[in-house]
Amino acid sequence: MEEFLRLNYNFITRSVEILAAITGIFLFKKYKHSASKYFIYFLVYLAVCDFIGTYTYYINDNGIFRFLKGTYFEYNFWWSTIFWKIGSILFFSFYYQKILKIKVFKKILRYIRYLFFAFSVGLILFNLDEFFTKSFVLISVFGLVIILLCVIFYFYEILRGEKILTFYKSIGFYISTAILVWWMVITPLMFYDIYFSTADWNFILLKWQIYLMANIFMYGTFTFALIWCQSDRDQLLNRPK
């Protein structure tokens, strides 16, 4: 298992990620008249940004980015914080603001998105050195709170409206389930990052396994949802009379 993870962890993660993005591109016409088109943009954004983050593999062993050795950019903590821990939360708060109907919920998500962004920027500015060497647990926890709000608001609207009759065909249902499980599983691991070193390979392997299973579940669910679900527009046309 140790050798398998070392050799295939990144390949498998990139594969399921790219599969979801490619699926979204091929099915874009299906969703282009709904808010789900923004989700497809987001999947492409994730694939591109994650690929950029692999620059660290070309720093050691005389790689093409060896000039970054010993600089702030030797590790990609800063990049994952910007594009995923901050970027994904900003996107999901925007996305749910688009698909929710209750104005109070939409307003809450808009203001909490501004608050999250301001908090994240302030935390980074006051801890600039740590920005390049570690992940910020507080940003992840705040992000989890926003994800919980998005999902709770969405499920509340489903339960009180006609969508409950066709929820299994709604892409929002699968997106909500996938991101909720991912953030609930991964966020607690941030508290144990102190053990993520070559001095404790048992923890490293455990963390890799958890991340791998969580990523496969999330991106696999996204791919399935894009193929299986109807667009919001089609759901409105086909809903029971």
**Tally of domains within the chain:** 1
Q: Which residues have a Cβ under 8 Å from the Cβ of 206 and sit 6 or more positions away?
A: none
Tell whether 184 is covered by a domain.
Answer: yes
**Spatial separation of the C-alpha atoms in residues 171 and 196, rounded to whole Å:** 35
**What's the pLDDT tens digit per position in 45-59?**
999 999 999 888 888
Tell whether 237 is covered by a domain.
Answer: no
Instruction: Indicate the pLDDT class of residue 236, thresholds 50, 70 and 90.
Output: very low
Instruction: For the chain, give percent helix, strand, coil, nearest 5.
Output: 85, 0, 15
Cα dist. 131→78, 182, 184 in Å? 6, 23, 23
Tell whether 241 is covered by a domain.
Answer: no
Tell whether 236 is covered by a domain.
Answer: no
Window from 50-54, 113-117, 148-152, 203-207 with minimum mean pLDDT: 203-207
Cα dist. 117→49, 105, 112, 182, 222 in Å? 19, 18, 8, 21, 26
**What's the pLDDT tens digit per position in 164-175?**
777 788 999 999
Tell whether 238 is covered by a domain.
Answer: no
Mean pLDDT of 64-84: 90
Crossing angle of the two packed helices 36-52 and 171-186, in degrees rounded to 10: 40
> What DSSP state is assigned to residue 197?
S
Instruction: Indicate the pLDDT class of residue 240, thresholds 50, 70 and 90.
Output: very low
Tell whether 49 is covered by a domain.
Answer: yes
Rg (CA), the chain: 19
Tell whether 151 is covered by a domain.
Answer: yes
Instruction: Indicate the pLDDT class of residue 2, thresholds 50, 70 and 90.
Output: low
Tell whether 127 is covered by a domain.
Answer: yes
Q: What is the reported pTM?
A: 0.89
Residue that is written with structure tokens 């980015």 in the block: 65
Residue 158 lies in domain: 2-231
**What's the pLDDT tens digit per position in 80-104?**
999 999 999 999 999 999 999 999 9
Nearest to 11 by CA among 225, 210, 216, 207: 216
Q: Which residues have a Cβ under 8 Å from the Cβ of 120 and sit 6 or more positions away?
A: 85, 86, 136, 139, 142
Q: Which residues have a Cβ under 8 Å from the Cβ of 238 and sit 6 or more positions away?
A: 166, 230
- Examine the pLDDT at 223 and tell me if it is beyond 70: yes
Mean per-residue pLDDT over the chain, rounded: 87
